[in-house]
Structure 1
Amino acid sequence: MSDTHGDPRVERSRAQLTDALTTLLRTREPREISVSALCTEAGLSRPTFYQHFANLDEVAVAGIEGRFRHLRAELPEADGPETSYRLLLAWLIELDGERDAWQRTIGSGMAFSASRDAVEAWLVQQLAQHAPSATPPVLRYAAAGFLGAVRSWLLQDAGPDRPSAAELAASLVDVSARVLAPTVGTRSTLKT
Structure 2
Amino acid sequence: MTSDTRADLRVERSRTQLAEALRALMRTRDPRDISISALCAEAGVSRPTFYQHFSSLDEVAAAGIEERFVRLHAEQRASGESPCDGPEASYRLLVGFLGELGAERASWQRTIGSGTAFSASRDAVESWLVDRLAERTPAAGPAVLRYAAAGFLGVVRAWLLQDDGPDRPSADDLAASLVALSARVLGPTDL
Q: How does the TM-score come out when normalised to structure 1?
A: 0.89
Q: Structure 2 residue aligned with 1:140, among 130, 142, 146?
A: 146
Distance 1:11 1:181 in 2: 36
More helix by share: 2
In 1, the alpha carbon distance for the partners of 2:145 and 2:60 equals 24
Gaps of at least 5 residues in structure 1 are 183-192
Partner of 1:74: 75
SS in 1 for 2:28: coil
Whole-angstrom distance in 2 between the partners of 1:110 and 1:60: 13
Match of residue 151 from structure 1: 157
Contact 1:21–1:38 (8 Å) recurs in 2: yes
Matching residue of 1:18:
19
Query: How much does 1:72 deviate?
Result: 1.0
Secondary structure of the residue that 2:117 maps to in structure 1?
A: coil
Q: CA deviation at 1:99?
A: 0.8
1:170 to 163, 171, 176: 176
Which deviates further from its counterpart, 96-105 or 22-31? 96-105
Quote how far apart the aligned CAs of 1:181 are: 0.9
For residue 13 of structure 1, what is the amino acid of its counterpart?
A: S
- Match of 1:54? 55
Counterpart amino acid of 2:157? R
Shift of 1:4: 8.1
Q: 2:13 is matched by which residue type in structure 1?
A: R
Q: Which of residues 118, 121, 125 in structure 1 aligns to 2:131? A: 125
Aligned to 2:166: 160
Unaligned 5+ runs, structure 2: 78-82
Give the aligned length: 181
1:103-122 correspondence to structure 2 within 5 Å: 103-122=109-128
Partners of 1:106 and 1:115 within 8 A in 2: no
**1:83 aligned residue:** 89
SS in 1 for 2:179: helix
Structure 1 vs Structure 2 CA RMSD = 1.8
Residue of structure 2 in register with 1:187 after alignment: none
Partner in structure 1 of residue 80 of structure 2: none
Deviation at 1:82? 1.3
Alignment-mate amino acid for residue 156 of structure 2:
V
Match in the other structure for 1:188: none
Once the two structures are overlaid, the 10-residue window that deviates more, 126-135 or 106-115, is 106-115
For 1:129 and 1:51, locate their aligned partners in 2 and report how far apart those are by CA, in whole Å.
Answer: 29
Alpha carbons of 1:5 and 1:62: their partners in 2 closer, same or farther (altered >3 Å)?
Answer: farther
Higher Rg of the two aligned structures: 1
Mean CA deviation greater in 103-112 or 116-125: 103-112
Could you tell me whether the CA contact under 8 Å between 1:95 and 1:102 is conserved in 2? yes
The residue that corresponds to 1:32 in the other structure is 33
